[in-house]
Amino acid sequence: MTRTASRPGLPRDVPKPSSSSTEPLRVDGPESSHTGSLILHGQPGFPDSNVHAVVAAIPSLCPGDPFNFKLFEKLGMLGVRTKADLDMLSANLEQTKEFLLKKGISFLEFIVIRHHLLLRARRHRPETGRDMADEPKMLEFLKQYSPPLEHLSSVLRDIGIQNSDLEHLSSLDDAWPAFGKYLLSHGLQISEYRSLRRAVPVNRRVDLAEADSNPEPYLALQIFLKALKGDLNSKVDAFVRAGLCYSEDLNMVCVLPEEQIDEILDGLIKEGLSWTQCKAVREGLKDRAEGIAAGRHDQGGA
């Protein structure tokens, strides 16, 4: 009997390539109250108007990509192409998180996608995503600061932010500027954001405030302000009193809308900066935003 030689290294049960670009892909994941897996399109393709509407509603996550084209492209490459795909993701948020993060979606992109999936689901079930298992931990975390921050719980819950998300964000300094911008666009005041940013412990600081840990505290702030007119020490002191101490603070502020930058400049005037100095600060922030867009500033550095 003649035996057919098999190709070395390939198991006998390798599935054949899909003959249709619309054949669904089953993405197995942990057990869910809805289903045991996600079923998406098996082949990459151009997403339809439903996916476009979700991405178009998301504020820009990157200064160099104002319309989130990269995110739109990523979703298409992952097979997220139709309303049915979005519905499947909405119904399985824990599996969606695991799937998207494994496939190269950043944590910040996932947070924003999850929020907009929740908004879609709430059109039919208004309480979707508001009953979070770890909300007591979130409240406990927010209450331990002075002044307490528990009033932020409702905003964070509406966006879909969980205590575990804040824990993960503690290791992602470079995500905070865009994350802060997103929070500000959904109801947080700049002072509340700064308080939340200070409350979340970080695993890495480029620019420590403690003099015994850093012989030249607020180094990134000094580098930024040295190029601006006016006395350096007075400007540093005003920024520190306003709660703007670190490189990521500058990166977040420089990409804010004009009215929120005006709010920050008003605060700096109250802390002792002159109108002329604030005008120079505004120009410096504009230059910094252009530098970030052009890739000249590392969001974790000076």
Model confidence pLDDT, tens digit, residues 8-17? 333 333 333 3
Mean pLDDT to the nearest integer, 198-226: 62
Look at residue 8 in the predicted model and tell me its pLDDT.
35
Q: How many whole angstroms separate alpha carbon 68 and alpha carbon 72?
A: 6
The pLDDT assigned to 111 comes to 93
DSSP character for 176? Answer: H
pLDDT at 294 over 50: yes
- CA dihedral of residues 28, 32, 38, 39 (deg, nearest 10): 110
Sign of CA dihedral 134, 136, 139, 144: negative
pLDDT of residue 49: 93
**What global pTM score does this model have?**
0.66
Q: What is the mean pLDDT of residues 186-202?
A: 79
Question: What is the per-residue pLDDT across 134-192, written as a single tens digit (0 to 9) for each?
Answer: 578 888 888 887 678 888 888 888 898 988 888 888 888 777 777 888 888 888 888 78
**HSE-up of residue 151 (Cα within 13 Å, Cβ side):** 9
Per-residue pLDDT at 128: 66
In degrees to the nearest 10, what's the CA dihedral of 181, 187, 192, 194? 0
pLDDT of the residue at 209 = 41
The pLDDT, as a whole number, for residue 282 is 92
The H or E element that residue 26 is part of is strand 24-28
Residue-level pLDDT at 217: 62
C-beta of residue 68 within 8 angstroms of C-beta of residue 60? yes
Select the more confidently predicted residue: 88 or 209.
88
Return the structure tokens found at 68: 């989130």
Judge whether residue 7 has pLDDT over 50.
no
Q: What is the mean pLDDT of residues 220-247?
A: 84
The closest alpha carbon to 175, from 105, 103, 118, belongs to 105
Instruction: Judge whether 86 and 119 are in contact, CB under 8 Å.
Output: no
- Answer whether residue 200 shows pLDDT above 70: yes
DSSP letter (8 states) at residue 150: G
Backbone φ and ψ of 28, nearest 5°: -70, 145
Q: What pLDDT score does 3 carry?
A: 43
Q: Using one digit for the tens of pLDDT, what is the confidence trace for 91-142?
A: 888 889 999 999 999 998 999 999 999 988 888 777 666 655 557 888 888 8
pLDDT in tens, 39-79: 676 678 899 999 999 999 888 777 678 888 999 999 999 99
pLDDT value for 216: 56
Query: Which pair of structure tokens corresponds to residue 104?
Result: 């190269």
> What pLDDT, on a 0 to 100 scale, did the predictor assign at position 195?
80
Comparison of pLDDT for 295 and 9, the residue scoring more: 295
**Where are the chain's structural domains?**
24-122, 135-199, 219-293
pLDDT in tens, 236-293: 988 888 878 878 788 888 888 888 899 899 889 988 898 888 998 999 999 988 887 7
